[in-house]
Every structure is written in C-alpha cells, then in structure tokens.
Amino acid sequence: MNDGPLIVQSDKTLLLEVDHELASECRKAIAPFAELERSPEHIHTYRLTPLGLWNARAAGHDAEQVVDTLLLYSRYAVPHSLLVDVAETMARYGRLRLDKDPVHGLVLSSTERGVFEEVVRSKRVAGMLGERIDDTSVAVHGSERGNLKQALLKLGWPAEDFAGYVDGEAHAIALDETGWNLRAYQKEAAESFWHGGSGVVVLPCGAGKTIVGAAAMSLAQATTLILVTNTVSARQWKAELLKRTTLTEDEIGEYSGAKKEVRAVTIATYQVLTLRRKGAYPHLDLLDAKDWGLIVYDEVHLLPAPIFRMTANLQARRRIGLTATLVREDGREGDVFSLIGPKRYDAPWKDIESQGWIAPADCVEVRVTLPEGERLAYATADPDERYRLAACTFAKTTIAEKLVEQHRGEPTLVIGQYLDQLDELGEHLGAPVIKGSTTVKEREELFEAFRTGDIDLLVVSKVANFSVDLPSAAVAIQVSGSFGSRQEEAQRLGRLLRPKEIGADGTQKPARFYAIVSRDTVDADFAQNRQRFLAEQGYAYRIVDAADI
C-alpha cells in the first residue's frame, strides 16, 4: 500500500481523494481515459468506459501508460482483473481497419480471423458489405463507410480508418499573424487533428477554438464548409476569419435563414441544414455544392441527428469538431467518435488558466428556500412541472438583484431558461433581455454595446450559451437551466473566461459564476449534475445560503 490519492475498484470506478496533495496531478493524469461521474466535497468518482479507453488509444495513449498511471496513483493494490480488462479493451481498437484498395475500393480487414468472422456475420453490418476478398478482408460499399464505423463501434470493435481523404478543391488560406501569434496549444491542437485526418479538439471557451479552426483551414488549403449553431455565431466566425487569415470578404459566404451564399469558405447554420419540408431536407444539397476539402463542426456536442446522418456520407472529407466538452446529454458520444472522429486534442481548463490564456473563476452556488405557499404548490405539482416551479421562484429574483448590486459596474450576465422569468428579471433589474424572439440585428447591437461597455448588464436566455463572444463579461448569475446539463454549464462558465485585467498583485481578477438554486427540490438535484462538470475541470465550488448574500 502507498499513500496515493486514488482507489481503483474492480467495478471500474476510480475514487479520487480531493484533498490529497497529489489530487490535481492525478486528475490530470487520468483525464485522458476516465470519465467523471460524481463530485461531492471530498471523494470524486470516475469510471473507466470502453469509449473513454478507445478515445485515449486514438489519441496515442497505450494500455501500458493507462496501467502505469493507475498503479502509480492507487493507494491499494489495483485489481488484476481490471488491468487485464483495460489492456483487452484498448486492444480492440484497431483490430479492424478500413483501407482503400485500387481493385476493390473500400476494404474492411482484420489481422484476426475470429474477430473478422464475428463482425461480418453480424446483422448490424448486413447490407453494408460486398464480396469477400479472402479470409480476413471484405469489400465495403463506399457509401457505407460512416454507417459501418457506427455499427462496428456498437459491436465493440471500433475500426481504425486508414481509407484516406479526398483533398477537395484547392483554395489558398493562410494565417495572418499581424499583431498576434498562434498559441502553442492552438498549433498543437490543429496539428494533432491534421495528423489524424479527422477528429475532435476539446478546448475551454475563450481559449480560441475559432483560431484552431482557422489553423486547420490553413493546413488543408482547400474549400471549407463551417457548420455553426446560429446566425450570430456565423457572423462572428466570419469576422474572426477576416481578422486572422488572408481570406477576403468575397471568399466567405453565409448560408443561413437570412442569406444563401455558397463560396470557397461557406459558414452554414445547423438550423438551415436541418430545416425539413415535406419530409425532405432541401438545404442538404449544400453539401454537394462544392468539392469541400474540410468540414468544421463548431460546438460538436450539439450536432442534431440529421447532421449525424449526413456526416455518415462525408467520410472521405476531412472533418474537425470543436467543443468545450464532449459530454452529450443524449448519450451520442459514440456517434461523434465514429462519424466525426476520435478526440485528437484535449487541454485541461486549469492548464490553460495557469498559462494566463483564460481567467480564473470563483464558482458559487447560492441556495434559497421556497416560501411556504410555493413549497406546497411544488409538493402537490405533477413531476413534469416541479422544476419550473422550483427554478422560477421570486426568491431568485431578489437574490439576483442583490448580486447585481454587489457587482455594480462589472459586466454582468443574468442567465436563465424560462422566458417569463427572464422578462421579470429584466423589468426588476432595468436591463435589456435577449431571447429567441429577439431579432438577429437587435441581438448583435446589444452584444456589441455590452462588449464596448455602453451597457454592463444583460439578461439572456440559452441563445447566448453558444458561440457568442463577450470577452468583457466578468460575472454570470444563473437562475435556471436545462435540467442540470453539463454541456450547458461549460458554455455558461465559458462566457466569463476570456482573459481579464491584471491586478496590482500581478494576477488576473477572477470571474464570478453564481448559480441560484432552490434547496430541497429537483433544482438542487440538477445542480449536483452541473457540479460534476466544474469539478472535472478542477474548479472549486462553494455553497452559500441566500441569507449570507
């Protein structure tokens, strides 16, 4: 027995003692292959999953490194059966491979006949395969490359894809580093993607994911289709590309509800691509409008189902996904892995913070008590209504007012889920409200006024969660959210993490992230889920009573 911070158990759970002096070092070491499940005060629980181990394998970590990490940090003897299972699970990745063959086209092969026979006889892959070539290889219908990779992942035999990519139509794109320089981690992220050919880059909000996308474009030197969450995001991408690259206004097109421009670099919204009319998706023709050399998926954790389906048909195109978190609330991380590609680069938030590229954050949960009448209404309500009742109590408005007053003069966002609650907050705080019905023009004007300091308080709905660049934001007050969504927490915290001014002590002033939560309700239950994300990134999380505000 040694004095490590980790307890490794045979059910594939890892228990990390938070207060141990090696806890931060251990968290960083296990992050590439273990997923955080629970994060109360003293002991955090991680789990080893096949997908986590395969992602680690694809990123260049081998079973020996994983085993060595577990042995190094474990307080007690690591169960031998678990070590064997780790080695065998990671060894499954790459036992099947996809290659291009000059005679047969796309070919699935294996070094082991037993594995090969198990897979080709599965009903999951029926109809995707062509003629048998020999005992360990079979032709694959070219259009089924993505679907086959999805099916093989579900069978527990993820295929490594060596079939290569078409270069697409060449188009000169270079970074213009006038007045700025590509950061070391941004360069490493872009090169990690390029070396793998497709995959996902995970970086904190504020760490410059758009610039990583631009760097990937400069490596591809080809026509590029960029898929983004909304029109505001599309225009921010365009502005950033004009600022950071040699691209001109005429070379960048916007394909959204407002415009339908197809150019060498085209920025399209997920909404317009997934627009459905009479059972068809009329705008998916955009994918065939050009011989794209690169497809960029912004906020890859939000990809709608139709985008997955179309991506299955785009396996010959280089693809890069950008995100702050690979967590998907619908559990489709496996589809991201098989269709966009495995995780190629993942920078821990605290590492980027320690380099000064994002601000430190103070995360505080403020607990309020429902008044007696509201508590009774909550207790007798249908389960489906309880979260709304707990989330929208007027007690939260009172606390939000106090917090805004405490931080008067600091750029502050008040963030919520329910529109009537946001309207109430806007009225009480005397602040503009941005929600789904706010026009794109009005949103852009208000965001710009916030950036320039003309206004320092905005009330925003979930429309501001994604791809909205508000570098000046220093305080966020969250009153309600999407049922404890960890991906939403990542985005909301990320609104605050752009670098801040340096104080007299030579350090950045920390951002303040408040979540106002109704105790003894499902609101508090969902808050625990959000804590998982913050703990996973290494952030401390304080809980205070509303009376102390």
Q: Which of 243, 180, 244 is nearest to 212 (CA)?
A: 244
Percent with pLDDT over 70 in the chain = 92
CA distances from 422 to 14, 19, 141, 183, 431 (A): 40, 39, 52, 38, 10
Higher pLDDT residue, 268 or 538?
Answer: 268
Pairing state between β 137-140 and 105-110: antiparallel
Enumerate residues 6+ apart whose C-beta is below 8 A from 445: none
**Would you say residue 468 has pLDDT above 70?**
no
pLDDT at 78 over 90: yes
Q: What is the pLDDT of residue 506?
A: 67
Longest dimension (CA), the chain: 76
**C-alpha of 487 from chain center:** 6
Residue 338 in this model has a pLDDT that exceeds 60: yes
For 304-327, the pLDDT digits (tens) are 888 888 888 889 999 999 988 776
Cα–Cα distance, 129 to 132 (Å, whole number): 8
> SS3 string of 350-383?
HHHHHCCCCCCEEEEEEEECCCHHHHHHHHHCCH
- Token pair of 538, please? 């290494």
Tell me the two tokens of residue 385.
């209504």
Is the separation of the CB atoms in 161 and 282 below 8 Å?
Answer: no
- The span from the CA of 87 to the CA of 422, in Å, is 51
The strand ranges marked E within 338-490 are 343-346, 361-368, 412-415, 433-434, 457-460, 475-478
Q: Which of 150-154, 327-331, 530-534 has the highest mean pLDDT?
A: 150-154
Q: Which residue has the higher pLDDT, 467 or 261?
A: 261
Q: Return d(Cα 161, Cα 149) in angstroms, integer.
A: 8
pLDDT of residue 72: 96
Tens of pLDDT, residue by residue over 473-485, are: 889 899 987 654 5
How confident is the model at residue 195, as a pLDDT? 93
The CA distance from 16 to 7, in Å, is: 7
Structure tokens at 412: 């502050």
Q: Is residue 292 classed as helix, strand or coil in its secondary structure?
A: coil
- State how far Cα 310 lies from the chain centre: 20
- What pLDDT, on the 0 to 100 scale, is given for residue 535? 66
Cβ 100 vs Cβ 106: under 8 Å? yes
Give which of 102, 89, 93, 100 is closest to 149, Cα–Cα. Answer: 93
Query: Which residues, at least 6 apart from 514, have a Cβ–Cβ distance to it below 8 Å?
Result: 364, 365, 366, 403, 475, 476, 477, 478
Cα distances (angstroms) measured from residue 268 to each of 168, 205, 240, 314: 18, 21, 15, 16
Average pLDDT over all residues of the chain: 89
CA distance 486 to 492: 10
Which tens digit of pLDDT belongs to each residue from 259-298?
999 999 999 998 888 888 877 788 877 777 789 999 999 9
In this predicted structure, what is the pLDDT of residue 326? 76
**Whether residue 33 has pLDDT greater than 70:** yes
> Are 466 and 491 spatial neighbours (Cβ–Cβ below 8 Å)?
yes
Q: Look at 116 and 36; give whichever has higher pLDDT.
A: 116
pLDDT digits (tens, 9 = 90+) for 96-113: 999 999 999 999 999 899
Q: Does 288 or 198 have the greater pLDDT score?
A: 198
What pLDDT, on the 0 to 100 scale, is given for residue 2? 76
| Helix, strand, coil % in the chain, rounded to nearest 5 | 40, 20, 35
- H or E element, residue 297: strand 294-298
pLDDT given at position 1: 62
pTM (predicted TM-score): 0.79
Kind of pairing, strands 457-460 and 318-323? unpaired
Share of the chain above pLDDT 90, in %: 61
Kindly report, residue by residue over 478-516, the tens digit of the pLDDT.
998 765 455 566 666 766 777 666 666 667 778 888 999
User: What do you get for the CA distance between the two ends of the chain, in Å?
Assistant: 45
Residue 281 has a pLDDT of 81
pLDDT at 349 over 80: no
Across 334-355, average pLDDT: 86
Mark residue 206 as left, alpha or beta (left: phi above 0; alpha: psi -120 to 50; beta: remaining). Answer: left
Could you tell me which residues come within 8 angstroms of residue 117 by beta carbon, excluding any fewer than 6 positions away?
A: none
How far, in Å, CA of 527 to CA of 515, rounded?
8
Residues sharing a CB contact under 8 Å with residue 301, sequence separation 6 or more, in sequence order: 323, 324, 325, 326, 327, 328, 336, 487
Provide mean pLDDT across the span 69-80.
96
Q: CA 447, 451, 454: angle at the middle one, nearest 5?
A: 90
Residue range 419-465, pLDDT digits in tens? 999 999 999 999 999 998 899 899 889 989 998 999 999 999 877 65
Per-residue pLDDT, 486? 58
Q: Which of 86, 24, 27 is nearest to 52 (CA)?
A: 86
What does the alpha-carbon distance between residue 271 and residue 133 come to, in Å, rounded to a whole number? 43
**Residues 489, 495, 499, 501: what is their CA dihedral angle, to the nearest 10 degrees?**
-110
Above 90 in pLDDT, residue 466? no
379/520 Cα distance (integer angstroms): 11
Q: Mean of the pLDDT values across residues 338-343?
A: 92
Contact between 205 and 470 (Cβ < 8 Å): no
Minimum mean pLDDT among 61-70, 311-320, 521-530: which range? 521-530
Q: So what's the pLDDT on residue 373?
A: 94
Distinct helix (H) and strand (E) counts, the chain: 21, 23
Contacts of 331 (CB under 8 A, 6+ apart): none
Is residue 85 pLDDT above 90, yes or no? yes
Whether residue 154 has pLDDT greater than 90: yes
DSSP conformational letter for 508: B
Q: What average pLDDT does the segment 220-249 reach?
A: 94
Angle between helices 383-391 and 522-536 (to 10 degrees): 70
Q: Give the C-alpha separation, 494 to 496, whole Å.
A: 5
Report the distance separating Cα 314 and Cα 272, nearest Å. Answer: 18
pLDDT of residue 205: 76
